[in-house]
Each structure stands twice: as structure tokens, then as C-alpha cells.
Amino acid sequence: MVQITLNGTKKDIPQGTSIKTLLSSMTLPKFFVVEKNLKIIYKEEYETQILSDGDNVEIAAFCGGG
């Protein structure tokens, strides 16, 4: 197991977990962005971005307004 920080909360995940796998276990809004260690991760990279101990992941939703 490795420990990451997900939206400010410590979370233990299996070693070798990709961002894609992490996201598949979550209920997410239609539009969102993923940031790993202060870097935006593009959708095409979700499968290849493997999370490591100490990584900081932020998932932010887009919302409209006016």
C-alpha cells in the first residue's frame, strides 16, 4: 500500500494504482480536472500515470454560473 493525499485527505491505495483506476472507484461530475503534484494530468495520461507514496492529487469540478 502507498499513501496519497486526495483533495486534502490522506488515502491508502494499492501500490501500482493508476489515476484511471483511482477515478473508476469514485463518483465524479461530468466535467472535472485532475492535478497530480501541482501538474494538470490530461485524460490521455490517466492510464499511464501511476500514483506513488506521498503524491498529492486534486480533483476539481467545473461549474457554470452567471
Task: Return d(Cα 28, Cα 16) in angstroms, integer.
Answer: 22
66 part of a folded domain: no
Tens digits of pLDDT across the chain (66 residues):
999 999 999 999 999 999 999 999 999 998 999 999 999 999 999 999 999 999 999 999 987 776
CATH number at residue 49: 3.10.20.30
pLDDT of residue 64: 72
Joined grid coordinates for residue 46:
490517466
16 part of a folded domain: yes
Taking the CA atoms of residue 49, residue 50, residue 55 and residue 56 in that order, the dihedral angle to the nearest 10 degrees is 40
| Prediction pTM value | 0.89
- Domain span including residue 43: 2-61
Q: Is the dihedral of CA 27, 41, 57, 3 positive or negative?
A: positive
Number of domains, the chain: 1
